[in-house]
Structure 1
Amino acid sequence: MAGEVRSVSQAFAVLRLLADNAPMTLSDIGRSLGLGASSCFNLLGTLVAEGAVVRDAPGKRYRLSDGWAQAGLLRDGDARRMVDRLRPLMMRFAQAQGVTAGLWQVASRDRLHLVAHAESNAVLRIHLAQGQRQPLGGGAVGRAIAAAQAPGAEEVARRFAAVRWEKPIAFADYAAQVEVAARAGFALDEGYTHIGIWTLAAAVPQRSDYCLSASFFAGSRTAAEVTALGQALVALAETAGG
């Protein structure tokens, strides 16, 4: 998004996190969102000064102020329960499959927002920064969401055009991959979004504004293993939608 201010996006990520959790310490918040201690402290200090967040003296934990919590502006009850249910399942999936898992939400007409992620314990692994955003048409997630939503060729083309691909890809190939994703139930990005990283994605049934992803290093799996991982991701997405 042109003109997007990173600190504002990070502040909303903090607010969303606190809306979905019990009071948290500064270190808990920083670890969950991938923020450094100094940045996290400054963000929380600003949010406290603005009255959106309160710091409870016992344990020095932060929570939403009563006004923000009662307004419910950052909450979607069904979505919150789904995310809460998925977090431990994503962690087990990431460990069992040796991948980095992500849960993405359609945040606007143009953007996706990372609402949860889980990493394996591998020494060399892919890290996702909590709260990050990417173009709606980007990556395997963009393909999977297009396959699930079937918005029409013109809209798929609009989403595709807004992406800065690290590895060139023709729209005809992208559109064909969306069609494959619609049949298979999962999409694959073979390093077009981030060179050297392959990502699979499966939209959550009945909630096509949410999508799960699994990222791994290119060349680390056979074609059969990639297919098996995609099918496992579809099963996880079905659990989320159930």
Structure 2
Amino acid sequence: MSAHAIGELVGWQVQKLERGERIADRVRRESYDENDRRAQIFRPICGGRTADALRWRDKLLQVAREYNTLHKCKGEREGPLGSNGLWVLEILLSLVDFASGRCDPALDTICAKAKLARATVVRAIDALQDHGFLQKVRRTRKTGMAPTEGPQRQQISNAYAFAVALKDKVRQRFQQLVGGRKRAREIREAKEQAAQARAEALAAPTSRLGSMLLPGDPKLARELDRLGAHFEAQTASSANREYPALESKGEKE
């Protein structure tokens, strides 16, 4: 590349410096374009169902607090996540979109909501990532400028995902807490379906009892239906006084 071409490429930087303006920050290492699959870490939370996602969020915070307490070293004031880490995790979880899993607030936004210094928030995010509660991906975006006009890329906000690298025991604990309500709901729904099926069977004519109970055995089902029809006929005859009930004891014959 000629000296003239190099001068054109850096010319915009020189002009900014001459005007006393600040050159834009360089792109950070290990950053990916926002459309790169490696930056596509957002996943729907609990299928976007708000009630389930809120429970998921609460249980993740509970597990993080338990982890922070259990792994606190003797003589230390704080656990591995620290109170700031737990607070930043709560802030981030309050900003996630359950339907898409999208969570990409700017650092300034997190700092403002947490009322913490930038360096404190960065350390908290690093601790959450080190212990598997958070995944952070640095992202960039094309500026659309010509090479001689300005930088080709700019840094944008990080993307965040949750609970993707929890340790085995921590993950088991989290799944236990989250899955407890789901299992209880499944059992309740199964009981309700069974009760409804029993009610329908009792309400159905006895002449159809075999067909309902034994759909896989047509021959036996027909026999039960025939038996049910026989009892129905007897009941109808009794109701029509064809088989009058015996008079009670003590009445005149």
**Which structure is higher in RCO with an 8 Å CA cutoff and minimum separation 6?**
2
TM-score norm. by structure 2 comes to 0.24
TM-score norm. by structure 1 comes to 0.25
Higher helix share: 2
Structure whose alpha-carbon radius of gyration is higher: 2
